[in-house]
Structure 1
Amino acid sequence: MSGADILDALGAARADIRGVLEPDRMLADIAWFRVGGPADLLFQPADEEDLATFLAALPQDFPVMPIGLGSNLLVRDGGVPGVVVRLSARGFGKTVAEEGHRLRTGTAVPDVRLAKAAADAGLAGLAFYRGIPGGIGGALRMNAGAYGGETKDRLIEARAVDRKGQVHILRNEDFGYAYRHSEAPADLIFTEAVFQGEPGDPAEIREAMAKITESREATQPVKSRTGGSTFKNPPGGKAWQLVDQAGCRGLTIGGAQVSELHCNFLLNTGNATASDLERLGETVRARVLATSRVRLDWEIKRIGTWPAGVVIPEFTEAAA
């Protein structure tokens, strides 16, 4: 399959699509790690209606992968087959305060901007988003949280488009939220969400956000090429402590390194490949199990394929 094949498969409907269609688009330009191969086709819809038109026209056997701002994402070196959908700020980047102390937002809005919009509107309860790297779409999918708050605590409902181009509205309870996980159908692409806030003083909310910013900058490599927290915290523990106890602080493979500042962050030191980063992550998982008998699960989402001849053995307890 190629980008040209996908464009041809859209047929006459292609003339009705208003968004940007880019065949063979390198995803390393988008992902925060700055690694990864191309998408056969990158589609950036103009708005929800445009997204629905595209998905309805696309043959059902063509794979579709939505991505957000490129954080919490490791794109493999062989690229991503099929279509990658990325929502743009122009079509999905508005936030509007509504009655009942609610905030309606597009899913391309960065988490930090949602926190700022809530502060500007005097809405407390959403400041924790200041500490989450990424966008609202990803936050919905993985129940993103930080500093004592989680998406499940504040979400009222969300709009989404399915693989056939049909629009759905999901209530909070429809997500089946758990720690860094949701049960929402995998084919849904979220377009908008409504969050519940509480009356608050804007100055106090901004002060709380400033403390979160100060804490992140002091303890996390926020100015490095990274994807955010690499592994989920296991029940009753902290991933970074287990990584540190396994002697992995500063560990390197190729151009990839475990952060010296925060052991639950992997870094591209400048010339890493996606294979370097994933090999490093699997090495860390194996060492943690060997030293602490705890299995770490990836929090970063790994997508795509490896080039011919490249094999990254996934760590398993049986192989440890």
Structure 2
Amino acid sequence: MGFPDLLETVPDLGEGIRGRLTANQPLSAVTWLRTGGPAQLMFQPADEADLSAFLKKLPKDIPVLPVGLGSNLLVRDGGLEGVVIRLSARGFGSIEEIGGNRLSAGAAVPDKRLAEAAAEAGLGGFAFYTGIPGGLGGALRMNAGAHGTETRERMVELTAFDRDGNRHVLTNADLSYAYRHSSAPKDLIFTAAVFEGVPRDEASIRAEMADVAAHREKAQPIREKTGGSTFKNPPGTSAWKVIDAAGCRGLMVGGAQMSEMHCNFMINTGDASGHDLELLGETVRARVLKHSGIRLEWEIKRLGRFGPEGPVEPFLGEEEEAA
């Protein structure tokens, strides 16, 4: 079941807008888990000016959500109400050397492409992005990291637009970065950022990138429909270790499974619904809580309305009993 067409209910919404507007866009086509309901309206702006103009026209009671490459996203079966903004590679996918060991990059740039551009420029410190299957917008928002390095160590400043279409420039300090977290207001849409590296010879950078890629190939189910790491690492341990100890390696709910290769990776084996995937995740959280007393936190973002199967309760609704 779709949503009412916003282009009909807000008749002048598309006037003067140069980007692409699509009503009831299926999000299963753009998320790596390949499941979930539609976006009421998807907007792919042509550039920053187009994005600003659209936000200024959009009624303030209509929700807005930016979605990047969809690698870290579980969309529920009922879909997303309001407007999903997806930045295009054409308008937000450029990378430029700007001097001072710095690169300017659009938020639609895939993480691994920034690593490649940095290598070509002889800038070290970006190889970790080779192993992160997402885009820079998401990396900036959640302080993505791997192999001992995080986004906060490379980001200098970023450009963002608020719900009213106003442009802002935020420094690294403004984001108050922490593990898989930034303090940026939720309504900000990141469009570009400046990153700084350290001079290194290209051969050594590429050797490091190759090591990161080889590790990912060996340890992660990269050829499956997955959203990457499902849960954040608890203090003092790894999520996969407590999941494995609770007997959840290979656990299945419908078409959803915790990977046998890396049990902190949730995969869609072929026909999983959003409900299957979220129920699997909450089953794992409940079992880990019961086994070790650890409350795993989701790293994958779960968004949207629940479908006809109804809601999935956190920890299966048994958090207090297990505690």
Alpha-carbon distance in 2 for matches of 1:148, 1:10: 47
Change (3 A) 1:75 1:13: closer
Change (3 A) 1:263 1:21: same
Alpha-carbon distance in 2 for matches of 1:314, 1:286: 8
Secondary structure of the corresponding residue to residue 228 of structure 2: strand
Aligned to 2:137: 137
Aligned to 1:148: 148
Aligned residues between the structures:
319
Percent identity (aligned): 59
User: How many angstroms does 1:148 deviate by?
Assistant: 1.1
Give 5+ residue unaligned stretches, structure 2.
none
What amino acid is the match of 1:270? G
Secondary structure of the corresponding residue to residue 174 of structure 1: helix
Secondary structure of the corresponding residue to residue 138 of structure 1: helix
TM-score w.r.t. the length of structure 2 is 0.96
Aligned to 2:203: 203
Change (3 A) 1:319 1:275: farther
Secondary structure of the corresponding residue to residue 60 of structure 1: coil
Aligned to 1:297: 297
Verify the 8 A CA contact 1:157 1:172 in the aligned structure 2.
yes
Verify the 8 A CA contact 2:275 2:307 in the aligned structure 1.
no
User: How many angstroms does 1:171 deviate by?
Assistant: 0.2
User: How many angstroms does 1:313 deviate by?
Assistant: 1.4
Change (3 A) 1:110 1:3: farther
Give 5+ residue unaligned stretches, structure 1.
none
User: How many angstroms does 1:311 deviate by?
Assistant: 2.2
What amino acid is the match of 1:215? H
Map Cα deviations across residues 29-70 of structure 1 (whole Å, 9 max, x no partner).
000000000011011111111111111100001001111001
Alpha-carbon distance in 2 for matches of 1:134, 1:51: 22
Map Cα deviations across residues 16-41 of structure 1 (whole Å, 9 max, x no partner).
10000000110000000000000110
Alpha-carbon distance in 2 for matches of 1:52, 1:202: 38
Secondary structure of the corresponding residue to residue 65 of structure 2: strand
User: How many angstroms does 1:126 deviate by?
Assistant: 1.0
Aligned to 2:191: 191
Secondary structure of the corresponding residue to residue 159 of structure 1: strand
User: How many angstroms does 1:11 deviate by?
Assistant: 4.5
Secondary structure of the corresponding residue to residue 14 of structure 1: coil
Verify the 8 A CA contact 1:10 1:57 in the aligned structure 2.
no
Aligned to 1:101: 101
TM-score w.r.t. the length of structure 1 is 0.97
User: How many angstroms does 1:10 deviate by?
Assistant: 4.8
Verify the 8 A CA contact 1:92 1:107 in the aligned structure 2.
yes
Verify the 8 A CA contact 2:257 2:268 in the aligned structure 1.
yes
Map Cα deviations across residues 135-193 of structure 1 (whole Å, 9 max, x no partner).
00000100000011101111100000100000000000000111000100100000000
User: How many angstroms does 1:9 deviate by?
Assistant: 5.4
Verify the 8 A CA contact 2:7 2:13 in the aligned structure 1.
no
User: How many angstroms does 1:99 deviate by?
Assistant: 0.8
User: How many angstroms does 1:295 deviate by?
Assistant: 0.8
Secondary structure of the corresponding residue to residue 77 of structure 1: coil
Alpha-carbon distance in 1 for matches of 2:227, 2:246: 21
User: How many angstroms does 1:13 deviate by?
Assistant: 5.4
Alpha-carbon distance in 2 for matches of 1:44, 1:294: 40
Aligned to 1:160: 160
What amino acid is the match of 1:174? D
Aligned to 2:59: 59
Aligned to 1:242: 242
Alpha-carbon distance in 1 for matches of 2:4, 2:183: 31
